A and B are shown apart, each in its own frame.
Chain A
Amino acid sequence: MIKKFKPACVAAAISLTLLSTAASAAEEQFFPLIDYRVGPYGSNGQAFYGGFIDYLNYVNLKEKGVNGVQMTYEECETEYNNAKGVECYERLKSKAAKSAGPIHTMSTGISYALIDKSAQDKLPLAMMGYGRTDAVDGSVFPYAFPLVTTYQMQASAIIKFLKDKNAGSLAGKKIVYLYHDSAYGKEAIIAMEAEASLNKFQLVQIPVAHPGNEQGSQWTRIRQEKPDFVVFWGWGVMNQTALKTAQKNGYPREQMIGSWWTGSEEDVVPAGDAAKGYMAATWNVAGKQVPVIADIEKVVYGAGKGNLQDKAKIGTILYNRGVSAAVLSVEAIRKGQEKYGKGKALTGEQTRWALENLNINEARLKALGATDLLPEIKTSCDNHEGSGKVKIQQWDGARWVPVSGWIEGNKGLIHPLFQASAKQYAKEKGITPRDCTKEK
């Protein structure tokens, strides 16, 4: 009897072990991280993905995951190279088949390369502050999410800020739009032109050839034009060169205002004193005064599980941006679990639904310790952006200081541009847009 009972017990034990393994495997929410930490923009990636991973670990340590589901990830290095980005996606997508959080590439080029593939594979692609901006129209782009805000809404918000600074009118003013001569730099032109026409200011467009490490002629022209403001869409070395050349030409930095790719510590520190007084837009604030940032340092680094070797990056603009991206991603997982079952990992398709139904208000941000870290966000089928707000910050020579509250771009002016562009894309690709009134 005992002899018969023993194998049965062993078999039962093995079955239970297998079952529990399967159950614990199902309780892991996987994030495919198509990232970059080396190469020309490696230092940007280190801060962003360091913040992202730190927040995932923070959730695991602080709350034991989302309803018991542990946040896991695997990194793949792209070196900010489109071909490598696609290779990384192909490598990670099989792992993401069971469960997948949003994919963040921090690269417009890689996002463009993945936009069709990710839709086919039913994996949601987050493009926070970059990427294909007409994907705001979720009826055409169900799996692409230019969350928080877009280049065009940002340009519109910058104009609103300048307008408020000038007693509510920019009529008769002259604004130079100095931009990186690439798809990124040209993205905001349509919004700047629409704003110029609406607000009756003169717009002068001046492109800078890549990489932008020499801008003598552009700034000589700016000196000749004598603009009231320079709105600046730079990237990489172009940012420091612009600030230094502005100084050389005696143009006040307080009249320069840049996009969020010109507004990190990496963009201004190398320019030294030339950057003092310069302003830039941002959709997340810097600093450790944000409770969740301070708590991450305490909990995650206190446990020796911090992702960054250089702790000085904690609290920088790009680190906090990585945390902000992770906050939204984890909140999407939480939202998805409310619909698909608490304590269960979400598939890419389920995460897509959650991203489309985010509603993170001030109360929720406060509960997360993220008050003022990022703006409120409410997404829907026809609005994958969900916010459209930025703050303006100013470099005081040592740190970024916010000089405005959250400013929303002119949605009535800008969103129809997205819809028209998305409609055109749908026509070219033979896509039948979803009926957003039927989506819940």
Chain B
Amino acid sequence: MNFFFEVLIGGLLSGVMYALVALGFVMIYKASGVFNFAQGAMVYLAALSVVGFIEKGAPLWLAIILAFAVMTAFGIATEKFVLRKLVNQPPIALFMATIGLAFFIEGIAPMVFGSEPRALELGIVDEPIPYILERWNIVISKFDLVAAGVAAVLVATLALFFQYTRIGRALRAVADDHQAALSIGIPLQHIWAIVWGVAGFVALVAGLMWGARNGVQFALTFTALKALPVLILGGFTSVPGAIVGGLIIGASEKLAEIYIPPVMQDWFGGNFGGIEGWFPYVLALLFLLVRPEGLFGEKHIDRV
């Protein structure tokens, strides 16, 4: 039973890491109704900026501030040079623009900051907590707990921001209808620049946690792959949905990886491991059959 709980807790903590990336997608989607294909690349850019500034002699805290400045400037530039011309265009046009943006970032970021994989030390040790290990024989690392704490603070802040601030309300109005929002005086360009800046901040947090865990390298762009099933499950417009979706996906993929392959091997022979790459997608698709808008997604009703 201990083993089951160890897998479950490990999965939940991994899910928090997925949710950190998923939150960035949610931010953009809430503001513009667009799936931001470049979110994984933004995570890479943010982490690469941090290690790039550290290599140029900046201390960690300053490197993080400078990286935030890079991400904010990037957000403003994206609004000005990419999105402004696409106001009132179909969402697919905006989606295509984000694909271009992803390739642009993946090409330019290593040119500026170098492409070598590098370590990022945040001063948090990724080792088992001795007390928990000795008492229950379960591995929980300090790093994972810090990541969970960071995600909790981030979600609370974003939820409050969307719910109770003028910008948050304006942002939701823009998401519903660009033209209607413009007609009542909401400055669309302003709002988009802010939301891309906030998405950049979320990418920075995700980049710091993932970069510290696995090193800063091109593969950070792949973190987006882990966030997609989380979004399908949690809904594209819900901040709490990203967290709950992350927890469900994290826990279920770990349990599946441990318990399903042995059964498959008994039935069919051969080796059936390595299923956690596709299992979350199957789970998310099955979930869509029951609840197409996701767990916390907004039900969309069109008037005829």
Interface residues of chain A, those whose CB is within 8 Å of chain B, are 38-43, 46, 181, 205-211, 213-214, 216-218, 220-221, 223-224, 236-237, 240-241, 244, 247-250, 266-267, 269-272, 274
Given A206-B273, A207-B274, A270-B117, A250 and B133 touching (CB < 8 A)? yes
Given A43-B116, A220-B258, A214 and B14 touching (CB < 8 A)? yes
Instruction: State whether A266 touches B116 (Cβ < 8 A).
Output: yes
Given A220-B10, A248-B126, A272-B119, A207 and B273 touching (CB < 8 A)? yes
Given A249-B128, A269-B118, A40 and B218 touching (CB < 8 A)? yes
Q: Which residues of A contact B152 (CB under 8 A)?
A: none
List CB contacts (< 8 Å) of B240-255 with chain A. 253-254
Contacts A211-B222, A248-B128, A271-B215 known; 13 new A-B pairs at CB < 8 A: A40-B218, A41-B218, A43-B115, A205-B271, A207-B274, A213-B219, A216-B11, A216-B13, A217-B258, A237-B219, A248-B126, A248-B141, A270-B217
Given A216-B11, A249-B139, A270-B118, A240 and B215 touching (CB < 8 A)? yes
Instruction: State whether B117 touches A214 (Cβ < 8 A).
Output: no
Q: Which residues of A contact B216 (CB under 8 A)?
A: 270
Query: At the interface, yes or no: B92 with Cβ under 8 Å from chain A?
Result: no
Q: Which residues of B contact A181 (CB under 8 A)?
A: 273-274, 277
Compute how far the CA of A46 lies from the CA of B117 in the bound complex, rounded to whole angstroms: 13
Q: Which residues of B contact A214 (CB under 8 A)?
A: 14, 17, 226, 276
Query: At the interface, yes or no: B6 with Cβ under 8 Å from chain A?
Result: yes
Residues of chain B at interface, number, CB under 8 A? 46
Instruction: State whether B117 touches A266 (Cβ < 8 A).
Output: yes
Interface centre among B11, B13, B118, B222, by most chain A C-beta atoms within 10 angstroms, is B222
Q: Which residues of A contact B215 (CB under 8 A)?
A: 237, 240, 269-271
Q: Which residues of A contact B226 (CB under 8 A)?
A: 213-214
Shortest distance from the beta carbon of B37 to any chain A beta carbon, whole Å: 17
Shortest distance from the beta carbon of A225 to any chain B beta carbon, whole Å: 11
Instruction: State whether B278 touches A209 (Cβ < 8 A).
Output: yes
* Mask of B122-143 contacts with A, CB within 8 angstroms, 1/0: 0000111000010000010101
Q: Which of A39, A218, A272, A274 contacts B218 (CB 8 A)?
A: A39
Shortest distance from the beta carbon of A316 to any chain B beta carbon, whole Å: 10
Compute how far the CA of A267 lies from the CA of B193 in the bound complex, rounded to whole angstroms: 38
Given A236-B219, A237-B222, A240-B214, A220 and B277 touching (CB < 8 A)? no
Q: Which residues of B contact A270 (CB under 8 A)?
A: 117-119, 214-217
Compute how far the CA of A217 lies from the CA of B279 in the bound complex, rounded to whole angstroms: 13
Interface residues of chain B, those whose CB is within 8 Å of chain A, are 3, 6-7, 10-11, 13-14, 17, 107, 110, 115-119, 121, 126-128, 133, 139, 141, 143, 210, 213-219, 222-223, 225-226, 253-254, 257-258, 271, 273-278
Interface centre among B14, B217, B253, by most chain A C-beta atoms within 10 angstroms, is B217
Shortest distance from the beta carbon of B100 to any chain A beta carbon, whole Å: 17
Interface centre among B7, B253, B275, B277, by most chain A C-beta atoms within 10 angstroms, is B277
Compute how far the CA of A272 lies from the CA of B143 in the bound complex, rounded to whole angstroms: 15
Q: Which residues of B contact A221 (CB under 8 A)?
A: 258
Instruction: State whether A207 touches B271 (Cβ < 8 A).
Output: yes
Chain A to chain B contacts (Cβ below 8 Å), 25 pairs: A38-B110, A38-B115, A39-B218, A42-B110, A42-B218, A181-B277, A205-B273, A206-B273, A208-B274, A209-B276, A210-B277, A211-B219, A211-B225, A213-B223, A213-B226, A214-B226, A237-B217, A241-B214, A247-B126, A248-B141, A250-B127, A250-B128, A269-B117, A269-B118, A272-B119
Q: Which residues of A contact B277 (CB under 8 A)?
A: 181, 209-210
Kindly report which residue of chain B lies nearest to residue A313, judged by CB atoms. Answer: B116
Compute how far the CA of A266 lies from the CA of B218 in the bound complex, rounded to whole angstroms: 12
Instruction: State whether A209 touches B11 (Cβ < 8 A).
Output: no
Compute how far the CA of A210 lies from the CA of B275 in the bound complex, rounded to whole angstroms: 10
Compute how far the CA of A266 lies from the CA of B118 in the bound complex, rounded to whole angstroms: 8
Kindly report which residue of chain B lies nearest to residue A182, judged by CB atoms. Answer: B274
Kindly report which residue of chain A lies nearest to residue B276, judged by CB atoms. Answer: A209
Instruction: State whether A237 touches B139 (Cβ < 8 A).
Output: no
Instruction: State whether A217 touches B219 (Cβ < 8 A).
Output: no
Instruction: State whether B219 touches A216 (Cβ < 8 A).
Output: no
Compute how far the CA of A247 lies from the CA of B139 in the bound complex, rounded to whole angstroms: 11
Q: Which residues of B contact A38 (CB under 8 A)?
A: 107, 110, 115
Q: Which residues of A contact B116 (CB under 8 A)?
A: 43, 266, 269
Compute how far the CA of A42 lies from the CA of B218 in the bound complex, rounded to whole angstroms: 9
Shortest distance from the beta carbon of B208 to any chain A beta carbon, whole Å: 14
Q: Which of A205, A220, A236, A272 contacts B139 (CB 8 A)?
A: A220
Instruction: State whether A240 touches B10 (Cβ < 8 A).
Output: no
Q: Which residues of A contact B222 (CB under 8 A)?
A: 211, 213, 237
Shortest distance from the beta carbon of B131 to any chain A beta carbon, whole Å: 14
Compute how far the CA of A217 lies from the CA of B304 in the bound complex, rounded to whole angstroms: 49
Shortest distance from the beta carbon of A368 to any chain B beta carbon, whole Å: 29
